[in-house]
Amino acid sequence: MDTVVLLHGIWMKPIIMQALSLRLRGAGYHTNCFSYPSVSKTPAQNARLFHDYVQALEGERLHFVAHSLGGIVLMHYFAQYQETRPGRVVLLGTPIGGSASAHQFSHLPLSQLTLGKSIEQGLLGDVPAWNGGRQIGMIAGSRSMGVGKLLGRSEDVNDGAVYLSETRMPSLTDHITLPVSHTGMLFSARVSRQVIHFLENGYFSIAE
């Protein structure tokens, strides 16, 4: 049985990934949800914690599904370590190019408490280039709901926290945009189907 490791985003805990985890289990995957201190440690430091976690996992085939900041942690992981077990990667609303919302938050009072070390080679950009040697897909959202609306986002397509343009990079195998919000994508059956399709085939379904 293939194993899927899930990584949550900033300010979250593994329970936020449970709806997606249950659907993956229903499709025949074994799942593990990695918990990490999203604010008190940098993405690079969390990648080292993640390495220790992954090394303890069994299974010959290992997939990764990461939401938002979790995808940045995953980028650092593959930049630092070589994962020899085959598998695929799906990122969900990850601002690979840096987050405009995080930039705005960083200028607000108490931003050190809300963003902490997540901005270091993370939410403010300077994320390592993809070096995973495997197929990687991105699911972006186009429903503008969430903290981004409070910060006066422009009319550019966004999921309420991340711009569509922030989710693109040349090394992506496939990219799809769905009408979901940044957090709502974690509960969407449609997103789950696309995640499963990519893990099985290496590309997203055009039938959705």
pLDDT tens for 140-175 read 999 987 655 544 555 689 999 999 999 999 999 999
Cβ 185 vs Cβ 92: under 8 Å: yes
3-201 topology per CATH: Rossmann fold (3.40.50)
Side by side, the strands of the sheet bearing 174-178 are 30-34, 3-7, 62-67, 89-92, 136-141, 174-178
Which parts of 55-196 are beta strand (E)? 62-67, 89-92, 136-141, 174-178
| Structural element, H or E, at residue 4 | strand 3-7
Q: CA angle, 97 as apex, 14 and 45 as ends, to 5°?
A: 50
Cα 74 from Cα 72, distance rounded (Å):
5
**Three-class DSSP category at 125:** coil
Q: What percent of the chain has pLDDT over 70?
A: 89
Q: Are the beta carbons of 203 and 88 closer than 8 angstroms?
A: no
**Predicted confidence (pLDDT) at residue 135 exceeds the cutoff of 80:** yes
pLDDT(104) > 70 = yes
**Which tens digit of pLDDT belongs to each residue from 28-70?**
999 999 999 999 999 999 999 999 999 999 889 999 999 999 9
Measuring CA to CA, which residue among 18, 80, 85 is closest to residue 57? 85
Using an 8 Å Cβ cutoff, are 167 and 93 in contact? Answer: yes
**Predicted local confidence at residue 114, as pLDDT:** 77
Q: Which helix (H) or strand (E) holds 198?
A: helix 189-201
pLDDT band for 122, please (50, 70, 90 cuts): confident
CA distances from 163 to 50, 54, 71, 96, 166 (A): 27, 30, 15, 10, 5
**pLDDT of the residue at 1:** 86
Q: Give the pLDDT score at 106.
A: 63
Give the per-residue pLDDT at 200: 98
Q: Give the residue, 37 or 84, on which the prediction is more confident.
A: 37
How far apart, in whole angstroms, are the C-alpha atoms of residue 85 and residue 104? 39
Residue 115, pLDDT score? 83
Q: What is the mean pLDDT of the chain?
A: 91
Q: Comparing C-alpha atoms, which of 138, 133, 159 is closest to residue 148?
A: 159
The band of 124, judged by pLDDT with boundaries at 50, 70 and 90, is: confident
pLDDT greater than 80 at residue 110: no
The model's pTM = 0.93
